[in-house]
Amino acid sequence: MSNGPLIAYTKVGKTFANGGVVAVDDVSLDVAEGEFLAIVGGSGSGKTTLLRLANRLIEADRGSVTVEGEDVRNVDPIGLRRRIGYVFQSGGLFPHLSVGANIGITPKLLGWPAAEIAARVDELLELVQLDGGQYRERLPSELSGGQRQRVGVARALAARPRIVLMDEPFGALDPLTRDALGDDFRELHRRLKLTTIMITHDMTEALLLADRVAVMHEGRLLAQGTPGELSESNDPYVEKLLHTPRRQAERLGKLLPRDGAA
């Protein structure tokens, strides 16, 4: 399976019992090792459901999901989640635990020795550019939004996962913080040779960060590909999503001329 995709969705479907809403409908999607995939869609598009099918926070009704070549149905969900990093919307940090305890939670669940966890926490704080001495013992409520999300990323990376799932990780942040955090994570992704799936409703963010972009709408996968491939799509919804970044880029290019700009 060395050449196969690290995560593969094959004709996956999910219908929620309450109201019979078809959240994901016949979706097939491969994510290669080392790839950064962004899933873009509005609320109710099924993008979050699709993400959570990968670590069995949600179980598929139809089709199959494989992670590292194994059908997730045959894998213990607890073990699966411990080896896949997950970054939650606005952090999802446990408010009663310190920054250090939040970051070290998965290693603790895995039974790492305390000293090893402490060392790993320091390493991760450095990795997400937070000063350990200053932040390790703080509670999440004492952090800014951007700092909280950095801790969220550190927590996801704590048990050295190969795969990281991110659920609108930068959505609630101010534009500057968001930009800086996006770039920093992209760098981590490269350096740690991660395979990342990030969901976002922001096409601009998706285009700027990801290798490939998948577009979800009403439970269906409308298009997937590199930004270049996506721009060739003649799906009207995809065109609509691309319209905003295109127009913004044009207008910004005119408004902010700079020597040497392309």
Provide, rounded to whole angstroms, the least separation between the CB of residue 53 and other proteins. 13
Q: Which of residues 105-164 bind other proteins (CB under 8 A)?
A: 105-106, 109-110, 155
Instruction: From 246, 253, 254, 241, select the one nearest 42 (Cα to Cα).
Output: 241
Stretch that binds other proteins, among 22-30, 66-74, 78-86, 119-127 (CB under 8 A): 78-86
Minimal distance, residue 215 CB to other proteins, in Å: 25
DSSP states of 149-183 = HHHHHHHHHTT--SEEEEESTTTTS-HHHHHHHHH
**CB of 166 vs other proteins, minimal distance in Å:** 11
How far apart are alpha carbons 254 and 244 in whole angstroms? 15
- Output the six-digit token pair for 115: 């000293």
Work out whether 16 is an interface residue with other proteins (CB under 8 A).
no
Q: Which residues pair with 24 in a beta bridge?
A: 14
Give which of 231, 225, 255 is closest to 243, Cα–Cα.
231
What binding mask, one character per residue, do residues 31-60 give for other proteins by CB under 8 A, x or -? ------------------------x-x---
- Does 89 engage in binding with other proteins (CB under 8 A)? yes
Q: Which of residues 16, 79, 226, 229 is near other proteins by CB under 8 A?
A: 79
What are the angstrom distances between the C-alpha of 122 and each of 49, 81, 125, 162, 226? 33, 23, 5, 20, 36
In angstroms, give the least distance from the CB of 43 to other proteins: 16
Between 46 and 85, name the residue whose CB sits nearer to other proteins. 85
Separation CA 28–CA 37 (nearest Å): 14
Could you list the residues that contact other proteins (CB under 8 A)?
A: 55, 57, 78-79, 81-82, 86, 88-90, 92-96, 105-106, 109-110, 155
